[in-house]
Amino acid sequence: MKVLLFSLLSFITGASSPGAQPGADLLFVGDAMQHQAQLDRARELGGETYDYSGCFTYIAPTITEADYAVCNLEVPLGGGPDYTGYPCFSAPDSYAVALKDAGFDMFLTANNHCLDRRDKAARRTIAALDSLGIDHVGTYRDSLDRLDKVPFIKDIKGFKVGFLNYTYGTNGIPPQDGVEVSLIDKKRIADEIRSTREAGAEILVVAMHWGIEYVLLPVKSQTEMADFLVDQGVDLIIGGHPHVIQPMKVVRNEKEDKDVLLVYSLGNFISNMKTADTRGGALVRARIERDSTGRARFVSADYDTFLSAKPDGARSNFTVIPSWMPEKIPAAQRGHWQIFDTNAQRIFNNHNVGVPRRHK
What is the tens place of the pLDDT at every residue in 210-226? 999 999 999 999 999 99
Q: How far apart are CA 287 and CA 300, in angstroms?
A: 5
Q: Which residues pair with 345 in a beta bridge?
A: none
| Helix/strand/coil percent split, the chain, to 5 | 30, 30, 40
Phi/psi of residue 28, nearest 5 degrees: -135, 140
> How far, in Å, CA of 199 to CA of 140, rounded?
19
Which amino acid does the sequence have at 359? H
Q: What is the predicted pLDDT for the residue at 314?
A: 80
**Contact predicate 140/146, CB 8 Å:** yes
The CA–CA distances, whole Å, from 229 to 20, 69, 197, 206 equal 31, 22, 14, 8
Given a cut of 60, is residue 347 above it in pLDDT?
Answer: yes
Q: Which of 13-17, 20-24, 156-160, 174-178 has the highest mean pLDDT?
A: 156-160
- The whole-angstrom separation of Cα 74 and Cα 271 is 10
Q: Is the pLDDT of residue 192 over 60?
A: yes
Mean pLDDT score of the chain: 94
- Kindly tell me if the per-residue pLDDT of 249 is higher than 50: yes
Q: Which three-class secondary structure state does DSSP give residue 300? A: strand
Q: Which residues contact 293 (CB under 8 A, 6 or more apart)?
A: none
Lowest model confidence (mean pLDDT) among 174-178, 181-185, 199-203: 174-178
pLDDT tens-digit readout, 99-154 = 999 999 999 999 999 999 999 999 999 999 999 999 999 999 999 999 999 999 99
Q: At what angle do helices 118-132 and 93-102 cross, to 10 degrees?
A: 40
**Cβ atoms of residues 278 and 243 within 8 Å:** yes
What pLDDT does residue 3 have? 38
Q: Is pLDDT above 80 for 318?
A: yes
pLDDT at 284 exceeding the cut of 50:
yes
pLDDT of the residue at 48:
80
Question: Mean pLDDT over residues 264-269, rounded?
Answer: 98
Number of H helices, E strands in the chain: 9, 16
Assign 20 a pLDDT band (cuts: 50, 70, 90).
low
Query: In the predicted model, what is the mean pLDDT of residues 261-278?
Result: 98
User: Please, which pLDDT band fits residue 313 given cuts at 50, 70 and 90?
Assistant: confident
**Per-residue pLDDT at 4 exceeds 60:** no
Residue 360: the pLDDT is 61
As a whole number, mean pLDDT of residues 192-215 equals 98
Residue 164: partners with Cβ closer than 8 Å, 6 or more residues away: 137, 150, 151, 152, 182, 189, 192, 193, 196, 204, 205, 206, 207
Is the pLDDT at 230 greater than 90? The verdict is: yes
> Across the chain, which distance is largest between two alpha carbons, in Å?
69
Cα–Cα distance measured from residue 91 to residue 49, given in angstroms and rounded to the nearest whole number: 12
CA pseudo-torsion sign 250, 188, 267, 315: positive
Length of the chain: 360
What is the C-alpha separation between 349 and 357, in angstroms, rounded?
9
Residues 6+ apart with CB under 8 A from 19: none
Alpha carbon of residue 44 to chain centroid: 28
